Every structure is written in structure tokens, then in C-alpha cells.
Amino acid sequence: MKAIQIQADKSLTWQDVADPAPPQAHQIAIKVHATAINRADLMQRLGMYPPPPGASDILGLECAGEVSAVGKGVSRWKPGDKVCALLSGGGFAETVVCHADHALPVPAGFSFQQAAALPEVFATAWSNIYMLGNTQPGQKVLLHAGASGVGTAAIQLCKQFGNPVFVTVGEQAKLDRCLELGAAAGHLRHDGDFTEVVKTWAGKDGVATILDPVGGNYLEQNLKCLGTDGRLVIIGLMGGRSAELDLGRLLIKRIQVIGSTLRSRDNESKAHIISQLNNKVWPLFTQGKLNPVIDRQYPIEQANAAFDVVDQNKTTGKVILNLAH
């Protein structure tokens, strides 16, 4: 088969590689029609985010396509089924093998490209805001990088589940798009500290949950925005991995600071997230209440150009890579 390979100069090439092993028990093989770029792919390309043990070293954390084979014990899927899947790696290839319980049906009426934009970002947003963050109806949420793939998914989820959202973004056009998707208000990060504007918006109860892919110097501002029993879920370190922590504020407000990654979770944990998505989120796609946000698409042979656009933060939502069969 063909797959994206990382060269010594960090460029990406679409070339022949060995086929993956046939699916084992509880696994499926997927003929990939479309995949999507995530920030973790950029980090892995640079050698900063190796795949977890046992995962494919090929880039790609999600895909959409057709089931081509099933392993023993798989009853939900059969060859020919249209699925999208959450992956630990291997999505930038013509065929990928994954756990059967990490796949979801392509929503009715969706293209493979639309479906490829769903698994990673909606799994990240749902698991961190509603599972780890335990966000309750009516509670306010602060989202950093609101125009990212995760951000645009989170805005839509919060709108559907009754949680007003404040976003921080890098430019006005991105803020306008976030407001269109359902955000209540926002702040341009180049305008400086967001603390006071968020506190004014949130009112006396403060923000209940913060989803933060930035880390670094956002920590202190985040803690000031949270109300009593608030939760800060950190999912990335784009702003750095070190910051001062006011433990007194943590104690007084009973704040929880939670670190979270999705890729390294075990099969059972991921299957639990996918099950919740299937039951609580996926019906909203067929009802037209949730939609993928796709900025642009490239043939997978043009992966270098696609990565450059994502790396330069020029996008809102997802960038899709298409495979020709």
C-alpha cells in the first residue's frame, strides 16, 4: 500500500510501504478514503510526539472509509460498511487497522471527507468537557483556540448541551466564525490578558470548565476565571510546559487542574468515549444540529502544503487529506 512517510529533512512523501497485518480479534481494517490533520501530527513529524507502544508509526489519528476486513469476534461491522475511526496512528495510508470499538458509522448523508473531520475533535471535546470536566447544563465554559478543530467542535457541543461559551482566538475573522457556530462572546489573544473580560462575561459564579490547549502563561489567568469547584482541563502545551501555580487559589476555590491526552488511552477507555459519542452525539449529526467544520482539502500527495497551512494557524476547523482509489 501507499502511506505518508517522514523523510530526514522532515518533508512528507506518499510512497509504497508494507501492508499492515490482517485484523486480529476485535479489530477491523479500513480502506481509507479521507483523513485529517491534527496538531499531534505536526509534533510527531518533528520528532516531539512519538506514537504510543504498539501503535503504527505512520501519521494520522482519524480517518473515514470502508471496512475491508474484520477480525474474530467482530459482529458490529462487516466489509463494505462506511465508518470513521479514532486512531492511535496509521490514518495517512491506504489501509489502516484499528480496534472495532473505536469506529463509528459515517452519519447519514455525510461524505467521507465530512466524516473524517469528526472522530478526533469530537472525542476530544466530549471526553474533556463532559466526561472529565463533568460540565452540567447551564454552566459556563471557556475555550481557548476556539477556531481550532477541537474548538469548533466544542462550541457546537456546548450549544447543544446548554453551556454558554466564551472563546479566545487569534484574529477577528476566527472570532466571527466562532460566534456563528454558537459562542456567546470572545477575546482576541493579541489584545492581552483575558481575565477581566471573561470574569465580566461569566458573572459572580465564574466559569465552570476551561478547555485549554495552550498551557504556559495561561495558567494564572485561567485560575482567576474559574468559579468555586471549577475544572481546568489542559490538553496541550502550545504556550509552554511551565508556569507558576497559586496553590492558595486552588484550595480556596476547590479548583481541579486536570491533564488529559487522548492518543495514549487504552482500548477500553477509548471505546467508552466512542460509545458515549455514538449514543449522545452522533444522532445530532443526522438531525442537522452538529456539523463538521472544514477549512480546506488537499490530495494526500500534497500533505506538505496542508501541514504548512495548519502550522501557520491559517485555518478554522479541519484540514482534510483525500485519497484517490
The candidate with the shortest Cα–Cα distance to 201, out of 253, 150, 164, 155, is 164
Asked which of 243, 259, 275 is the last residue of a domain, the reply is: 259
Question: Which pLDDT score is estimated for 136?
Answer: 98
How far CA 290 is from CA of 86, 154, 285, in Å, comes to 18, 10, 5
* CATH code where residue 215 lies: 3.40.50.720
Q: Which percentage of the chain shows pLDDT scores above 90? A: 94
> 46: burial class by Cβ within 10 Å (0-12, 13-18, 19+)?
exposed
> For residue 50, how many other CB atoms are within 10 A of its CB?
11
DSSP 8-state symbol, 93? B
Least confident range of 88-92, 124-128, 321-325: 321-325
Cβ atoms 317, 36 nearer than 8 A = no
Domain match, 178 and 305 both: no
pLDDT for the residue 84? 98
Same domain, 15 and 76: yes
Clarify whether residues 247 and 222 are in a common domain.
Answer: yes
- Residue where one domain finishes, among candidates 208, 229, 259: 259
Burial of 173 (0-12, 13-18, 19+ CB in 10 A): exposed
Residues 81 and 176 in one domain: no
Overall average pLDDT of the 23-42 stretch: 97
Note whether 37 and 107 are same-domain residues: yes
Which residues span the domain enclosing 178?
121-259
Contacts of 273 (CB under 8 A, 6+ apart): 86, 123, 126, 127, 131, 262, 265
pLDDT of 241: 87
Residue 101 gets which letter from DSSP? G
Nearest in space to 40 (alpha carbons), one of 1, 84, 92 = 92
The pLDDT confidence band at residue 203, using thresholds 50, 70 and 90, is very high
Whether 83 and 72 share a structural domain:
yes
The mean of the pLDDT values for the chain is 96
Q: Residue 30 contacts by C-beta under 8 Å, 6 or more apart in sequence?
A: 63, 65, 66, 67, 68, 83, 85, 95, 96, 97, 98, 103
Q: What is the DSSP letter of 86?
A: E
What span, in angstroms and rounded, lies between the C-alpha atoms of 142 and 198? 8
- φ, ψ of residue 41 in degrees (nearest 5): -65, -40
Residue 310, beta-bridge partner list? none
Which is nearest to 238 in space by CA: 259, 218, 265, 261?
218
pLDDT of residue 134: 97
- Tally of domains in the chain: 2
Same domain assignment for residues 128 and 250: yes
pLDDT computed for residue 225 by the predictor: 97
Are 258 and 231 spatial neighbours (Cβ–Cβ below 8 Å)? yes
pLDDT tens-place string over residues 235-252: 998 888 888 888 988 999
- Specify whether the CB–CB gap between 260 and 234 falls below 8 A: yes
Report pLDDT digits (tens) over 47-106: 999 999 999 999 999 999 999 999 999 999 999 999 999 999 999 999 999 999 999 999
pTM (2 decimals)?
0.96
Together in a domain, 96 and 128 = no
> Is the distance from CB of 85 to CB of 269 less than 8 angstroms?
no
pLDDT in tens, 257-305: 999 999 999 999 999 999 999 999 999 999 999 999 999 999 999 999 9
pLDDT band with cut points at 50, 70 and 90 for residue 183: very high
